[in-house]
Structure 1
């Protein structure tokens, strides 16, 4: 495939667009993967939209825990929509080209949505910690203002800290290769094509992973460790069971989210020997959490199930009229 190049003012060749090849090593039959990816995308969209509508219409769900869940649903929709439509365009229409600006925008969107997901998990962990460990103070601590301030702080933190990622990538000079053996524009995958030094890009990627992912993960697991310790001190077996049941769904999602990040990072080191593994895991990590999150909450949270039933009953009533 020919490399698309244009001349800059400095008379040096400059790539004008990138070409996303898809999954390395399986280009001939990768289009068959469009079926499971489409189903996961539709599940993620449908389930998260249902959660948003249910929380909006059911006044009993206008509580901090479900407000954070609504933010998580919005973030999941954004994360899935950032990558899946382009991947399906590659598989269905062989639309492999992507402009530099669109590629850098996708890099930014992926990073900010991933960081927001981590931040919302932290918000929900703090909410559960206060609810279980300080139940009498919960109504005065976790208020509507608390939810707004905490969410806005996560948006501001992630927006500012992720801006340098696409900015640094855009400052690199791409003068030869423009083929990316991936389905999406990953930061390291794109910058590896640059003709100049990318040390600062790799360093900032590592810094971002530690400052956001590492700190959030540490605080989240510390919160749940304190929760478990507090729950074990409860004298009522019923109260202990209820508290553990409430937190178990959170722990399942959080464990999968952070463990997947670690696995993707580790397998990326072996990318030359097994290039398909990190690429496949990277794609799945961007679509499975958005599809899995609402399913786990719907199955584990009684209030949400009741809300779904009320919404379904309201819809049936309106349709009959």
Structure 2
């Protein structure tokens, strides 16, 4: 890679983040600041009114001018891209071009989902093929390396997201169970993703010597990082919900369908322009039973997880179930 022989320091220090005030961006920013090892710069649009922590530098850019974004990325060791699903797809493409022009060694593209290397589920979930294009663009330009963060769905966000995500409707105490509700998937809390990214970027870039076997950033060059808070199914989620709410199973209305049928109905809705259909097809596809799909949302079972390598703490499921329920009442 172009940047391997230009390393003058064996750590990453200057980190630019797009979407620093967003859903996941704020947790990544917070965790990076906590390490005390990083200088964080938020890349924002010229008209942005987002409030950022005092210790975060801010650079406003015009995405329609490559030189504007390139200038903002000069001297950065890492670019982290977190964009909403509604952001124009060319925004990420422009950022990748600018990162290459500025010579940024590392890019964490807008992944933060399932296994980036699982082409089958990526195709079914529509967004996978687009993500592959961005990784290919980074490699083709040859100035940066990518690391894709595979973390599954953000647990508290998907739990709070209604019937089209994990199937829960807290207001009406109902649950749409897919198949028998026992297909396990990987899911991560938002603070967990923040900690994972900060731990990853706190690794040294290269081994100190040929005998040094400790983890390095270089070992993730153009590869995914696999992390997960909980490997659970809908039944596990329901048990947690019952404990947190003090309700009984008999207090809940259960609707039964199959993950495949739910996925297909999501496709139909999305074709009509309903974004709830996109949420439904994405989540339902992850719950395909192992017998029905070569791949589903449990990438840890196939690829293993890097939780231990990064010394990530074990979290309390009920604590985040409670947060998810609170988020649903605020929505």
TM-score by length of 2: 0.29
Structure number with greater Rg is 1
Q: 1 or 2, which has the higher helix percentage? A: 1
